[in-house]
Amino acid sequence: MEQCGEDGPKAIAEWKALRERLRTLGGSTQAVALLNLRQDAGFLATTAGSLPFVLQNPDVFADLSLTFDDLSKTVDEFVTVPFLRNFIDTMCIFCGFPAKGAMTAHLLYILERFFEETAAFSVPIGGTCELGNTLQRGLEKYGGKLQLNAHVDEILIENGRAVGVRL
């Protein structure tokens, strides 16, 4: 970011401000595990274990709704430098969306772990398209055939398991 010309210092300041805001949003996911959230009275039972954290940090629930919202709403508050906005969109590839469309909760976990000292970032040799190519090679190695945009007449079942299709 330092090499973004005159926008470098601004990008760094915006990145730090966004990371700090995401840390406070992350507190709400520490307070209540996302899998425990419910919209009925069972909410009390599944979140009771969070009570000690909530008592020490009573403001976390104010941010809880933002964790389920579009990440771009939080990004828009802090980030104006185009390079940094593109970088954030690139980080969101792990969610399958750009920042507009990615749920904040998804990226909270990714961003906090991504910058840990022991973090590693792995990309398949040849890029992500190689994942599909490798699956196709494996399919063909065992006698399968990949056919796109084809109508399936029947799913073939043997011993209760799907083993193929008839086109």
Q: Whole-prediction pTM value?
A: 0.56
Within a domain: residue 121? no
Shared domain check, 101 and 27 = yes
The dihedral built from the CA positions of residue 47, 30, 113 and 75, taken in this order, carries a sign that is positive
Decide if 120 is inside a domain.
no
3-class secondary structure, 100:
coil
Domain count, the chain: 2
Q: Are residues 60 and 90 in the same domain?
A: yes
- Residue 30 counted as domain residue: yes
45 belongs to a structural domain: yes
5-19, 98-112, 129-143: which range is least confident on average? 98-112
Residues 13 and 78 in one domain: yes
**Residue indicated by tokens 């940090």:** 57
Residues 60-84 pLDDT 10s: 667 777 777 888 888 999 999 998 9
Domain that holds residue 20: 5-114
For residue 119, being part of any structural domain is answered with no
Contact present, 22 and 66 (Cβ < 8 Å): no
* 74 plus 50 within the same structural domain: yes
The number of residues in the chain equals: 167
Backbone torsion region of residue 79, taken as left when φ is above 0, otherwise alpha when ψ lies between -120 and 50, otherwise beta: beta
74 and 14 within one domain: yes
Based on the domain organization, do 98 and 145 belong to the same domain?
A: no
100 and 138: one domain?
A: no
pLDDT in tens, 23-67: 777 766 665 565 555 556 676 676 667 677 777 777 666 777 777
